[in-house]
Amino acid sequence: MTVKTMEDLFVETLKDIYYAEKQILKTLPAMVKKAGDTKLKDALETHRQETEGQIDRLEQVFKLMDVPARGKKCEAIEGIIAEAKEHMQDIEDPEVLDAGIIGSAQAVEHYEITRYGTLIAWAKQLGRDDAIELLEANLEEEKNADMLLSRIAEATVNEKAAA
């Protein structure tokens, strides 16, 4: 589709994050499996479940915008996921691997945070208050996941990997 209006741009970006969330949902089980630290494993599994809910919320936003829920390939998330997969394949030391997984997971969260931040700003501009609440719920979960990953990294993983 050609982007002509702010509403078109909003929908295009919605498709981007929808695609990204679905790719993340597909990748998280491998990250859960590969993570060694129990807290990290739990955090990733919790976020996998949250991601399912986020996809539902995005489908509600598509409905509000009166367009079918469809993703649009996002090269940015593909790159971040490719890097995560590379770490999972190449790193043998379990503690270094955990640090790598956290780094990739946080890159994902930051990507999501920037997308949701932008979408919320545009929804405000478009007067689409109905979409804002759903997008903010997703943004909150991404921020919390990011903070939790930082805490796990600081508390255990980085310390052990450096030993």
The site for Fe ion (CB under 5 A) is made up of 21, 51, 54, 109, 112, 142, 145
Smallest distance, Å, CB 4 to Fe ion?
A: 28
CA 67 – CA 128 distance, rounded (Å): 14
Smallest distance, Å, CB 41 to Fe ion?
A: 16
In terms of CB distance, is 95 or 111 closer to Fe ion? 111
Smallest distance, Å, CB 113 to Fe ion?
A: 8
Main-chain dihedrals φ then ψ at residue 158, nearest 5 degrees: -60, -40
Smallest distance, Å, CB 64 to Fe ion?
A: 19
CA 81 – CA 13 distance, rounded (Å): 19
In terms of CB distance, is 95 or 148 closer to Fe ion? 148
In terms of CB distance, is 56 or 154 closer to Fe ion? 56
DSSP conformation letters of 45-107: HHHHHHHHHHHHHHHHHHHHHTS-------HHHHHHHHHHHHHHHH--SHHHHHHHHHHHHHH
In terms of CB distance, is 98 or 142 closer to Fe ion? 142
